[in-house]
């Protein structure tokens, strides 16, 4: 395992002693995970945690103190469900949109709630639950089910993936659009308010959605090719939801996840644990991260970048993925953010080969050209789920001090320089 850095000279990535209690804020003493966090222009941090079957929405001031002007809310997407918050979005008017998973009767559904700038629920918007395909079900092994973003006109895009036709479990991915008031947008997807996503017409796991400056919609995720190999992918759609064939090749961008020296991994493992993430740079380039199987048979974190038109960005690590590995451990990324100087921060978890296969927090920063930088990597139990760039001096991550059922929710301030 890594050596601890010299405490007298904190390096980037170390806990910021001027944030919270020596860099840490604990939103609740109950078991849970802080899944989502977002920073506003003033550096205030709105965060959402899963606590039991409910979510907790709260806000911190710049330095991690509780914002007394914000009303914390503990609630659900629907009464009686298991509510897991996954994405926080800030509207132009200061209202907060929370997107997450509502699980009820073994069915996973996207849930959406909106809150006023002071944290009180927006009762006019109400509770919005989107139904999925017929015969959809929740798999035994969970993964990130839903994500979303805002268009410039404040319409809400939501991407979700399902398994249908139990017990074969065929994956189906769906992109919804809601009006700013939460109603389905019938101007999207030929009147349906949604479109189904199939990368290269294959069974697909659509994971994240972004909007480029011209309003076109980018969806990223994973699919399995004809040889049952796991591949990364991006696709672009018009504002109306039509495939944009000028993106990549015929509308799709392929991201190979197979390393030449890697052993072939089992299809079952890839199927159950397939996750990926992406974020959009200010110049519309697409950062894509997931994991691949390394030459040592372990999972290695993978980071790459596409140009705005879906082509491979040769300026990023000479056109090759940037890989992160640890001896005797699996590395998997969960979230990424871009600093104002173009540096890329990725966070997630490491699973060491130890009794119980504990999760440990993982983080790394890369230059705009895709080169790893010196960035503190502590072997602390827990995992990171989200990351926000609060200022030029601080990065804020959210997650848990342990597993999803045993750890406490965490918000951690890290030194950016």
184: helix, strand or coil: strand
pTM for the predicted model, two decimal places: 0.93
**Lowest mean pLDDT: which of 143-147, 232-236, 273-277, 381-385?**
273-277
What mean pLDDT is predicted for residues 200-214? 94
Nearest in space to 127 (alpha carbons), one of 75, 170, 192: 75
Report whether pLDDT(53) > 50.
yes
pLDDT band (50, 70, 90) for residue 78: very high
Domain ranges of the chain: 24-47+144-415
pLDDT for 2 equals 44
**Residues paired with residue 343 on neighbouring β-strands, in sequence order:** none
The pLDDT tens digits of the residues spanning 376-390 come to 987 788 889 999 999
Report whether pLDDT(141) > 70.
no
What kind of fold does domain 24-47+144-415 have according to CATH? Answer: Neuraminidase (2.120.10)
Burial of 325 from C-beta contacts in 10 A (0-12 / 13-18 / 19+): middle
Report whether pLDDT(261) > 70.
no
pLDDT for 341 equals 96
CB 311 within 8 A of CB 248: yes
Task: Check residues 266 and 86 and name the one with the higher pLDDT.
Answer: 86
Question: What is the overall mean pLDDT for the chain?
Answer: 90
Report whether pLDDT(271) > 70.
no
Report whether pLDDT(265) > 60.
no
Report whether pLDDT(354) > 50.
yes
Torsion over CA: 308, 144, 408, 39 (sign): positive
Instruction: List C-alpha distances in Å: 179 to 183, 237, 274.
Output: 5, 18, 30
pLDDT for 1 equals 38
Radius of gyration of the CA atoms of the chain, in A: 20
**Residues paired with residue 333 on neighbouring β-strands, in sequence order:** 348
Cis peptide before 411 (omega within 30 of 0): no
What mean pLDDT is predicted for residues 360-364? 92
The pLDDT tens digits of the residues spanning 274-332 come to 689 999 999 999 999 999 988 888 889 999 999 999 999 999 999 999 999 998 889 99
């Amino acid at each position: 395992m890594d050596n601890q850095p010299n405490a007298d000279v904190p390096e980037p990535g170390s806990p910021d002693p001027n944030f919270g209690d020596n860099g840490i804020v604990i939103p609740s003493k109950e078991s849970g995970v802080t899944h989502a966090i977002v920073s506003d222009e003033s550096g205030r941090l709105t965060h959402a945690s899963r606590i039991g079957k409910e979510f907790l929405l709260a806000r911190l001031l710049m330095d991690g103190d509780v914002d007394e002007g914000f009303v914390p809310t503990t609630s659900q997407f629907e009464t009686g469900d298991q509510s897991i918050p996954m994405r926080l979005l800030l509207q132009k008017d200061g209202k907060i949109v929370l997107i997450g998973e509502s699980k009820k009767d073994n069915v996973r559904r996207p849930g959406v709630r909106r809150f006023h700038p002071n944290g009180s629920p927006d009762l006019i918007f109400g509770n919005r639950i989107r139904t999925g395909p017929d015969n959809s079900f929740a798999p035994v092994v969970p993964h990130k089910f839903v994500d979303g973003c805002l268009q410039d006109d404040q319409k809400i895009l939501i991407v979700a993936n399902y398994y249908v036709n139990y017990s074969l479990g065929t994956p189906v991915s769906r992109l919804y659009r809601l009006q700013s008031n939460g109603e389905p947008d019938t101007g999207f997807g030929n009147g349906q308010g949604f479109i189904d996503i199939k990368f290269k017409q294959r069974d697909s796991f659509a994971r994240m959605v972004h909007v480029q400056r011209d309003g076109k919609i980018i969806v990223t995720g994973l699919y399995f090719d004809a040889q049952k190999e796991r591949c990364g992918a991006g696709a672009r759609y018009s504002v109306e939801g039509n495939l944009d064939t000028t993106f990549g090749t015929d509308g799709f961008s392929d991201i190979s996840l197979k390393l030449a020296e890697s052993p072939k991994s089992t299809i079952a493992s890839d199927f159950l644990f397939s996750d990926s993430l992406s974020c959009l740079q200010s110049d519309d380039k697409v950062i894509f991260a997931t994991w691949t199987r390394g030459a040592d048979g372990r999972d290695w974190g993978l980071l790459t970048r596409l140009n705005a038109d879906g082509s491979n960005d040769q300026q990023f690590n000479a056109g090759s993925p940037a890989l992160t590995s640890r001896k005797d451990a699996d590395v998997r990324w969960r979230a990424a953010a871009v600093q104002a100087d173009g540096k890329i921060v990725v966070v997630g978890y490491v699973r060491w080969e130890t009794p119980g296969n504990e999760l440990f927090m993982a983080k790394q920063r890369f230059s705009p050209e895709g080169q790893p930088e010196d960035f503190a990597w502590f072997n602390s139990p827990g995992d990171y789920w989200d990351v926000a760039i609060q200022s030029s001096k601080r990065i804020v991550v959210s997650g848990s001090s342990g597993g999803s059922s045993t750890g406490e929710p965490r918000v951690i301030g890290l030194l950016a320089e």
